[in-house]
Amino acid sequence: MEVIIVAAQPEKWPLQVPNVRVVSPRKYITDSEFARLGEFKVFNLCNAFKYQNMGYYVSLLARARGHNPEPNIQTIMDFRSSKMKKHIAREIEESANRILAKRTQKKLKLDIFFGKCTDKAYLRLARELFTALPAPMFRAVFEKDKKGVWHLGDVEAMSSRDIRDEDLAFVSTVAADYVARRHRYIDTRDRSRYSIAILVDENEELPASDKKALAKFAKAASNVGFFCEFITKDDYDRLNEFDALFIRATTNANNYTYTFSRKAYADGIVVVDDPSSIIRCANKVFLAEQAAIRNIPTPKTVIVHKGNLDDIEKELNFPVVIKQPDSQFSQGVFKAEDKKSLDKILSKLLKDSDLLIAQEFVPTKFDWRIGIFDKKPIFACKYYMAAKHWQIVNKDEKNEAGAFKTLPISEVPKKVVDIALKMSNLIGDGLYGADVKETDDGRILLIEVNDNPNIDAGVEDKVAGFALYETIMRGFMDRVNEIRKLEPVSSKGK
């Protein structure tokens, strides 16, 4: 794969970057040589990124040609969006004030080149801005107000003509390093039509998939025609290299996984789970309201706020289960045995959230977990409660988990599957884990639906085996093909 830089007036290009070709925007757009699908890596260093100008069309056509441009269209639009700039300003304000605390001047113009800057004191700030706005070259202006607080002001894309003469050698070096690093990723790829990134967090205590399962996902991806690469939260600026993103780090609407998902979705990259699924599954108030409206049976539920605390005891008997709105997989879930413990739990949780969920406690020996993808059930497990505990995972005992039993979907009570599908399909068509209780007196109750459910080797795949991983990867491939409007690619593993 050849690396090209698109820049105005290539004959006056001032930087020394080996192993790249510099071409003009017009040549890239009109020359049939550059229309070949996926054969180039494009660094767009045009003078400006105004809507529908040549620089804009370079990135737009590069994306259509599978050239994975930097910056991509979404980043170009972010430079034009005042709302996005304000969002980025809020995100980095704390870090900026910490880094700029000792600066006596009231203004700072920070030129950022491929994530670096000439002053080492501001390298971290440059990196954070580059993560938020992954454009090769841009200038950020910080100003200090009368109270001594630093704020991000204007942010503008730069071209090679904006580089100061004294910075040319520095920029040439960082540009060469950056292009070489990107090219190493490109050169290691096979001849797969598309690429998929799997986002992981190696430091998680309870990851969504263990290493064996991740290896199986990678093999399944290759079988259906993907080049597969594992990425981490440090690879945000590389998202536009991929056609699909599979999030296997624990998701939350308030952490980097949502930022990855939102960015991928906005840029037309197939992502599981999508930002809407993360938001909906992360909020148990939303799920409770949906279940009530759709007449999906759940444990008796009260949406709690500071004005109706007395209703909990009127509506529910002790013990009572209290859930944070963004609780997931037994985390953020508490059991109140009496009024004293209830008051203590509420006092703590209502400091962080205006709404909570209170539910009747429904003791069972196990919970059903129905795995759902593309609105179809793909695995079924019974998760038994941890020893001498009321949940399947005992966080107080080093995350000790209970036993499990994986079953064919055909052996699961039909009502369990129906309820799981009904609620999951209200959320979307992503990868979900629907938790359902089956009581001794015959009640079937939805507990919750989580995005990004656990899939571990020897557990959720115990019945379906390797086919489980291929089912998910084929789903990704079908979605990418649908976006590209191409015919499906047959699986090598079939």
Confidence of residue 396 (pLDDT cuts 50, 70, 90): low
pLDDT at 50: 66
Residue 410 has pLDDT above 80, yes or no: yes
Which residue's structure tokens are 């202006």? 141
Phi/psi at 370 (5° precision): -105, 115
Sheet holding 107-113, edge to edge: 107-113, 137-144, 150-157
Q: DSSP E strands: which ranges in 118-207?
A: 137-144, 150-157, 194-199
HSE (side-chain half, CA atoms, 13 Å) at 48 = 5
- The torsion angle over the Cα atoms of residues 238, 139, 112 and 203, rounded to 10 degrees, is -50
Biggest CA–CA distance in the chain, Å, is 81
Q: Is the dihedral of CA 208, 209, 210, 215 positive or negative?
A: negative
Rounded distance, CA 383 to CA 399, Å? 14
Cis peptide before 440 (omega within 30 of 0): no
Residue 275 has pLDDT above 80, yes or no: yes
Q: Which two tokens stand for residue 464?
A: 């379906």
Residue 63 has pLDDT above 90, yes or no: no
Rounded distance, CA 28 to CA 42, Å? 10
Across 36-40, 143-147, 226-230, least confident range: 36-40
Across 9-23, 150-164, 364-378, 388-402, least confident range: 388-402
Rounded distance, CA 216 to CA 213, Å? 5
Per-residue model confidence as pLDDT tens digits over 204-262: 888 999 999 999 999 999 999 999 999 998 888 788 788 999 999 999 877 889 989 99
Neighbour count for residue 113 (Cβ, 10 Å): 23
Listed as own residue / partner, the contacts of 410-413 with beta carbons closer than 8 Å and 24 or more positions apart are 411/380, 412/368, 412/370, 412/377, 412/380, 413/438, 413/444
The fraction of the chain above a pLDDT of 90, given in percent, is 47
Q: What is the CA radius of gyration of the chain?
A: 26
Neighbour count for residue 81 (Cβ, 10 Å): 13
pLDDT at 199: 97
pLDDT at 492: 43
The residues, any chain, with a CB within 8 Å of residue 238's CB and separated by 6 or more, are: 182, 185, 197, 231
Per-residue model confidence as pLDDT tens digits over 357-379: 898 999 899 999 999 999 999 99
Confidence of residue 49 (pLDDT cuts 50, 70, 90): low
Rounded distance, CA 140 to CA 153, Å? 7
Between residues 82 and 34, the one the model is more confident about? 34
Cα 230 versus chain centre, distance: 13
| Closest to 43 measured CA to CA, from 165, 180, 155 | 180
Q: Which two tokens stand for residue 375?
A: 């609105």
pLDDT at 395: 65
Rounded distance, CA 366 to CA 377, Å? 19
The residues, any chain, with a CB within 8 Å of residue 318's CB and separated by 6 or more, are: 336, 337, 338, 339, 342, 361
- Judge whether 196 and 217 are in contact, CB under 8 Å: no
Which residue's structure tokens are 């993360």? 278
Cis peptide before 319 (omega within 30 of 0): yes
User: How large is the average pLDDT for residues 460-472?
Assistant: 97
The residues, any chain, with a CB within 8 Å of residue 104's CB and separated by 6 or more, are: none
pLDDT at 125: 93
Rounded distance, CA 447 to CA 392, Å? 13
pLDDT at 493: 41
Per-residue model confidence as pLDDT tens digits over 102-116: 899 999 999 999 999
Highest mean pLDDT among 233-237, 286-290, 327-331, 457-461: 457-461
CA angle 159, 161, 162 (to 5 degrees): 70
Mean pLDDT of the chain: 87
Q: Is the pTM value of this prediction over 0.75?
A: no
Rounded distance, CA 357 to CA 305, Å? 9
Residue 488 has pLDDT above 50, yes or no: no
